Amino acid sequence: MQLYNYYRSSASFRVRIALALKGLGYDYQPVHLVRNEQLSADYSALSAQRLVPLLVDGDATVSQSLAIIEYLDETHPQPPLLPADALGRARVRSLALDIACEIHPLNNLRVLRYLVKDLGVNEDAKNGWYRHWVEGGLEAVERRLAADAATGTFCHGDQPGLADCVLVPQIFNAQRFDCQIDQLPTITRIFQACMALPAFQAAEPSACPDAET
Amino acid sequence: MQLYNYYRSSASFRVRIALALKGLGYDYQPVHLVRNEQLSADYSALSAQRLVPLLVDGDATVSQSLAIIEYLDETHPQPPLLPADALGRARVRSLALDIACEIHPLNNLRVLRYLVKDLGVNEDAKNGWYRHWVEGGLEAVERRLAADAATGTFCHGDQPGLADCVLVPQIFNAQRFDCQIDQLPTITRIFQACMALPAFQAAEPSACPDAET
């Protein structure tokens, strides 16, 4: 398998965690988003959306991080990243989507660029925008996790899964942009439990071949 | 089942289509987003995220439109809204996520409000933002659909499914905000095939009990 990704892309980071949790090896194909390599003719031929991550598995090409992780979970079921019951799966998917749809899309590189270049937003207002969506979005996730007995050592029970693959990269982003996360004790506890595992450590941005200091 | 939703919420619309395709009845519970009813104490007790849609199915409460549709597909398998094979499922999920993660989150009511109230963006620039993400995002989806033999009468083959449930509400939004969609022949063809079906007609905003003229 080949994974086209960028060390600092949190959607890429989600997939790297899933691959590591399943113990699957892959060729790391860097696509430098800041240099706009995703818009090159070569990459556009592979990815109609011109986005990372992209997984190539033999003849199959799969895009969108959550779809890639579900695909990996179906084609390599052990260890499972989704619960066995429909309601548990719905809970895990909805936690993942609380981050993937409500927080992360607002803070993508291309969105921040549009704010600055097209709307003339200054640096302070741009950072305020970033923190607004991250802090409010993570507080909603915290309320869910703190109130639900289905939360365990990890987002769902005592094994890491899809929701953890999505939560951890969002916390890395939050830290990088100095977001306030002290008010999130359940998320902080789960983040620490994840980062104690070798699979999460191996997937983190600083461990990537294309990492920049 | 009870569906908490708002006639103009495109995430709600997705779920209404899925319920209609499966022929499932439900109690329609309106939550008026423009009046901020989603922030009320009563609704917050039900939805930690204070978002619609929300499905209540007996003791189960499921949030996030894509998670709700997958839950419905698992608990009421006929007719299926996802293909039987892992690669087909990945394709359909990734098409749905191309809209649910790359387009729709940028054009939510609360995001447009933040642009105007917190960033002081004027009406023209706000509408430009809206059209930028819708047009660019749908062009990427068009490229995928047009280039792939797996596209049929609908997004995936000749039966409507999850990707169509997500595409159609996005086209309603695009039309409402006068986005340019003439350059999207495959999407236009699929949209028309969907809207010829009673399930899509029954789910559309103007058919909802809380619709405003």
Residue pLDDT, tens place only, B2-41:
999 999 999 999 999 999 999 999 999 999 998 999 999 9
What number of other Cβ atoms are within 10 A of residue B195's Cβ? 13
Average pLDDT value for residue range A86-108: 97
Q: Which residues of B touch A111 (CB under 8 A)?
A: 106
Which residue blocks in chain A are alpha helix, DSSP H?
10-21, 41-46, 65-75, 86-100, 109-117, 123-147, 162-176, 185-195, 198-203
State the pLDDT at residue B69.
Answer: 98
Three-state SS for B114?
Answer: helix
Report the mean per-residue pLDDT for chain B: 96
Average pLDDT value for residue range B79-83: 98
Q: What is the pLDDT of residues A99-150, one digit of tens each?
A: 999 999 999 889 999 999 999 999 999 999 999 999 999 999 999 999 999 9
Question: Beta strand A2-5 with A27-30: parallel, antiparallel or unpaired?
Answer: parallel
Going by pLDDT thresholds of 50, 70 and 90, the confidence category of residue A56 is very high
B97–A66: do the CB atoms touch at under 8 Å?
yes
Three-state SS for A194?
Answer: helix
B64–A128: do the CB atoms touch at under 8 Å?
no
A140–B101: do the CB atoms touch at under 8 Å?
no
Share of chain B above pLDDT 90, in %: 96
State the pLDDT at residue B213.
Answer: 77
Cα–Cα distance measured from residue B81 to residue B212, given in angstroms and rounded to the nearest whole number = 30
Cα–Cα distance measured from residue A187 to residue A192, given in angstroms and rounded to the nearest whole number = 9
Domain ranges within chain B, ordered by starting residue: 2-79, 86-200
B57 contacts: CB under 8 Å, gap ≥ 6: B1, B71, B75
Average pLDDT value for residue range B138-160: 97
Distance from CA of A199 to the nearest CA of B (A): 24
A60–B87: do the CB atoms touch at under 8 Å?
yes
Nearest neighbour of A62 by CB, restricted to B50, B71, B90: B90
State the pLDDT at residue B179.
Answer: 93
**Tokens representing residue A147 in the block:** 């109130």
Please choose, from the candidates A109, A129, A145, the residue with its C-alpha nearest in 3D space to the C-alpha of residue A179: A129
The CATH number of the structural domain formed by B2-79 is: 3.40.30.10
Three-state SS for B101?
Answer: coil
Kindly indicate whether the ipTM for this predicted assembly is greater than 0.85, answering yes or no: yes
Question: Beta strand B54-57 with B27-30: parallel, antiparallel or unpaired?
Answer: unpaired
Give CA B87 to chain center in angstroms.
22
Q: Which residues of A touch B51 (CB under 8 A)?
A: 102
**Tokens representing residue A55 in the block:** 């997984």
Distance from CA of A209 to the nearest CA of B (A): 27
Going by pLDDT thresholds of 50, 70 and 90, the confidence category of residue B127 is very high
Minimum CA–CA partner of B126 in chain A: A119
Minimum CA–CA partner of B139 in chain A: A49
Cα–Cα distance measured from residue A143 to residue B50, given in angstroms and rounded to the nearest whole number = 11
One-letter amino acid of A18? A
Cα–Cα distance measured from residue A29 to residue A8, given in angstroms and rounded to the nearest whole number = 13
State the pLDDT at residue A81.
Answer: 98
Look at chain A and count its residues. 213
B69 contacts: CB under 8 Å, gap ≥ 6: B14, B15, B18, B81, B162, B165
Nearest neighbour of B48 by CB, restricted to A63, A128, A144: A144
Cα–Cα distance measured from residue B113 to residue B125, given in angstroms and rounded to the nearest whole number = 13
Interface test with B, best of A93, A144, A170 (most B CBs within 10 A): A93
**In this structure, which topology does domain A86-200 adopt according to CATH?**
Glutathione S-transferase Yfyf (Class Pi); Chain A, domain 2 (1.20.1050)
State the pLDDT at residue B38.
Answer: 92
**Residue A164 touches chain B, beta carbons under 8 Å:** no
State the pLDDT at residue A213.
Answer: 77
- Which stretches of chain B are assigned E, i.e. beta strand? 2-5, 27-30, 54-57, 60-63
A48–B90: do the CB atoms touch at under 8 Å?
no
Q: Which residues of B touch A135 (CB under 8 A)?
A: none
Interface test with B, best of A47, A66, A104 (most B CBs within 10 A): A66
**Residue B195 touches chain A, beta carbons under 8 Å:** no
Please choose, from the candidates B69, B160, B150, B114, the residue with its C-alpha nearest in 3D space to the C-alpha of residue A111: B114
Going by pLDDT thresholds of 50, 70 and 90, the confidence category of residue B210 is very high
